[in-house]
A and B are shown apart, each in its own frame.
Chain A
Amino acid sequence: MSRNELRNADPPLSQEPLLQEELRGGQMWSRVLRRGQRLRLIDVAGGASVAALFYNADETTERYNMPDTLKAQHIARLTEGFVLYSDMGRVLCSVVSDSVGWHDTITGHAARRHSDRRYGSGSYQVLRNDFFRNTRDNFLTELGKYDLGKRDLVANVNFFVKVAADLEGRLSWVPGHSPAGSHVELRAELNTLVILSNTPHPLDPSPRYAPQPVALEIRAGSPATPDDPCRRSRPENERGFLLTEAYFA
């Protein structure tokens, strides 16, 4: 069966979203995606950077694990067909659709010190709700709503961001990576607490603080079927899905 035939089993995009929201530039967001639900992120204006963290909503000590995700799939990037592993050998989310081809997960996120250095202070006192929010402060704020904190802040995913390494390991920011209208869609395989921050990446060389709006769409759906492309992309993922199903058995 070809990948396209397999993908036809997905709920059609014409399916009305359960929920549509816009993330303003600088905004944070969180929600528990129920197992099977889908979250689509759309880079409306191009050049977006959405930092994301993932937790098992039923047991938040289980969380996205960057090293396990990379080494299980022999990758240093995320795109369609790959999955996000927790530290417990289970799949938190699958990347079911992606127009960009590379989402970063090895370069972390900006804190206040990065933001101050590059953009200046941009205080609330002066700018009101256009103030210069940074990813770390957004993460800590949003995590706090679930009684999570610094100890829970692990290596994150940076959707729409590409930082490539050369053969010596030297890292470089890839400009113009995500054109306007780009999207990535996740399917929750556990009940997954998703934390998002629509804030600039620390390697983005732009001197101006100008994060653009990102559209979110949540749709109903079902967990991965036995012939799911993410599941069948490699034997490791088949085992990851078996362990995920065993958790709900």
Chain B
Amino acid sequence: MTLSDSRLDPARASYDVTLESGLGWTHVLSPGQIFRIVDLEGNQAVDTLFYNAEDESERYSAVDTVREQGNLYLSVGTQLLSTEGRVLCTIVAYTCGRHDTLGGACAAESNQVRYAIEKRYMHSCRDTFLLTIANETRHLSKRDLAANVNFFMNVPVTPEGKLTFEDGLSAPGRYVEMRAEMPVRVLISNCPQLNNPCNGYDPTPIRLLIWAAPSGH
């Protein structure tokens, strides 16, 4: 497992916010900008979607991404591919070993299936996504919520075709960093799931930073 540090200085970031668990966030990155997600307290799943900001019908495709790189897990060098086979972002640094893109986002409805019919009241990433796109985007709707990336989440698949949710491999201060390769809308739900270990049963805040494209990009 290769980890890769970044040399970027948070003091020089052009954008720096903290996002509590249970909240959504969306922002458009320009090509060349570097975007970092910091798992401030450790073990926090960050459900993330990407769209071509100029034509949002082109979006992140989990299945194209894993097939074209020949590997299920996202790591440094992974190109996050769109439904048109183009590169939305490239992961350029991370200090946490494994990111998932098969587990999707939690939803009130899937929580009912997975845990108990009575779980419908519980907050979920899909609800966060829906509210965020309703308030902050013009054209996105439920149809645009496809399989996402779960940064800092550990969902191993076995050669026999089993899938398990395990404790995250992340720890306080671990981060992932990516470079936008086109104008990209990023949509995040800082996961509120309390029913499984994806957040260590204790959802916590994350920090989001953006740096300008290096000159000459």
Contact = CB atoms under 8 A, between A and B. Distances in A.
Nearest to A151: B143
B112 A106 contact: no
A71 B125 CA distance: 15
B73 A106 contact: no
Contacts of A106: 63, 66, 72, 102
Contacts of B102: 66-67, 70, 76, 106
Nearest to B148: A67
B162 to A, nearest CB: 6
Contact of A75 (B70, B109, B144, B163): B163
Contacts of B63: 66, 106-109, 155-156
B46 to A, nearest CB: 15
A177 to B, nearest CB: 12
Contacts of A72: 110, 113-114
B83 A150 contact: yes
A89 B112 CA distance: 7
Nearest to B98: A169
A85 B114 CA distance: 11
Interface in A102-130: 102, 106-109, 111, 113
B146 interface: yes
Contact residue range for chain A? 35 or more
Contact of A102 (B112, B113, B161): B161
A164 B72 CA distance: 10
- Grouping DSSP codes into helix (H, G, I), strand (E, B) and loop, the A interface class, with mixed when no group exceeds half, is loop
A243 B113 contact: yes
Contacts of B156: 167
B11 interface: no
B15 interface: no
B61 interface: yes
Interface in B73-105: 73, 83-85, 102-105
B77 to A, nearest CB: 14
A152 B145 CA distance: 10
A108 B107 contact: no
B159 A164 contact: yes
A71 B103 contact: yes
Interface string A69-81: 0111011110000
Contacts of B70: 170-171
A242 B110 contact: no
Contacts of A68: 104, 107, 110, 113
A87 B109 CA distance: 8
A236 interface: yes
B83 A67 contact: no
B162 A75 contact: yes
25 contacts: A66-B104, A68-B104, A70-B163, A71-B103, A71-B114, A71-B155, A71-B165, A75-B162, A76-B162, A77-B161, A87-B145, A89-B107, A107-B66, A113-B85, A149-B57, A150-B58, A151-B57, A151-B144, A163-B67, A165-B157, A165-B159, A167-B158, A170-B70, A171-B72, A239-B117
Interface of A: 61, 65-68, 70-72, 74-77, 85, 87-90, 102, 106-109, 111, 113, 149-156, 163-171, 202-203, 236, 239-240, 242-243
Given A76-B162, A107-B66, 14 more contacts: A67-B62, A71-B114, A74-B162, A75-B163, A76-B157, A87-B145, A102-B161, A111-B85, A150-B58, A153-B83, A166-B159, A169-B71, A203-B67, A243-B109
